Amino acid sequence: MNNMIELAKQQVKETVMNALGRLVAEGKIEAVPLPAFNVERPADVSHGDFSCNAAMASAKALKNNPRAIGQMIADAVERGCRHIMVGLGGSATTDAGTGMLQALGWRFIDAHGNELEGCGLTLAKIHTIIAPPDINTLRGVRFTAMCDVDNPLYGPRGAAHVFAPQKGADARQVELLDAGLRHFVKVCQVTSPDSNSRQEMPRQDMADKAGDGAAGGLGFAMRRFLGAGTVSGIDAVLDIAGFDTALQGAALVITGEGRLDDQTLAGKAPAGILRRARRAGVPVAAIGGTTDPAAKQRLLEAGFATVTAATPADLPLAQALQANVAAANLRAATAKQLADFWARMYG
């Protein structure tokens, strides 16, 4: 058994490194030394997809930074976009959106007059916030933040305590980040988001609104500095896709994700699809690459008609990762879902 586990780990590592190599060859990422990493059981499975920090480490090595979203916004504005929707999540940082803001022209100055790089480690040093000179260009744009978490910016349920450990932060770093977030809000409280003047922040603009902690605090920055409204991410995507229209006349909806567990019901796509479909009276079947047995009953009680794992529990990981095997498993799981559904409905 140990030999099989080690073989599976090695195959995972090779798959990741080969994928990164292809991206370099295709010119999609910069050719820099990639980090070494280990494949091991996560210390806390509740961290879900973020239990694996290989992507985080690779992003750091590739010099990716939180300014990227700001650069994309600036490019979109320059191209004439007047309504920009930003999906909040997977930021790999806890910087309260300062990286994005810096890319849009905001400047963060310490007590000695030095300009700071917008990142989590510098939040506690910010003394003055200087708005961009062309702020009116952004004021002509409507921003919408798509968010499916309700975490505030700081505190026990805030960005640092809930999401930073998923990104590799230890207990000491979590406390430093949370303190930085709190300090940043204090500076924001007396700084107008539109100018460099001192202006008391109204109570309703404090950082305890649901969604402020999303994407490492990007939700707060978008609301406070860009005037963004917040909508459910999955609802926005379903609206854009015309999901309600597609539901008309449907007998069954089949949805799924990599792993079906308790996090599925915490704002993830299958939960949003379930909510919409139930409203239309259409049953929903869920397929996961794997399914947490402890959560299956709760998923059924939440309203899913059936809950099925595509991957057999006794299938070795190395074999399950093979594309042809995964495709066959998915087809088999879908067929089982349909058979179970029709048997219950018409049997």
Distance separating alpha carbons of residues 78 and 302, to the nearest angstrom: 45
Q: Taking a C-beta distance cutoff of 8 angstroms, is the pair 228, 144 a contact?
A: yes
Question: What pLDDT is stored for residue 5 in this prediction?
Answer: 66
Please state, in angstroms and rounded to a whole number, the distance separating the CA atoms of residues 39 and 42: 9
Tell me if 134 sits within 8 A of 105, measured CB to CB: yes
* Residues 26-85 pLDDT 10s: 665 555 555 555 666 555 444 444 444 454 454 444 444 568 889 999 999 999 999 999
Distance between CA 195 and CA 210 in Å, rounded? 26
The Cα-based distances of 234 to 216, 231, 240, 275, 339 in angstroms read: 19, 9, 10, 10, 28
Give the pLDDT confidence of 79-133 residue by residue, as tens digits: 999 999 999 876 778 899 999 999 999 999 999 999 998 888 899 999 999 999 8
Locate 34 and state its tokens.
């990639």
Prediction pTM value: 0.67
CB neighbours of residue 164 within 10 Å = 23
Residue 304 has pLDDT above 90, yes or no: yes
- Rounded Cα distance between 100 and 329, Å, is 41
Q: Which tokens is 152 given?
A: 């505030």
Report the C-alpha dihedral over residues 65, 67, 69, 75, rounded to 10 degrees: -130
Residue 347 pLDDT exceeds 70 = no
Of 4-18, 37-51, 215-229, the range with the lowest mean pLDDT is 37-51
Q: Which of 103-107, 119-123, 233-237, 261-265 has the highest mean pLDDT?
A: 103-107
Residue 22 has pLDDT above 60, yes or no: yes
Q: Report the distance separating Cα 220 and Cα 206, nearest Å.
A: 9
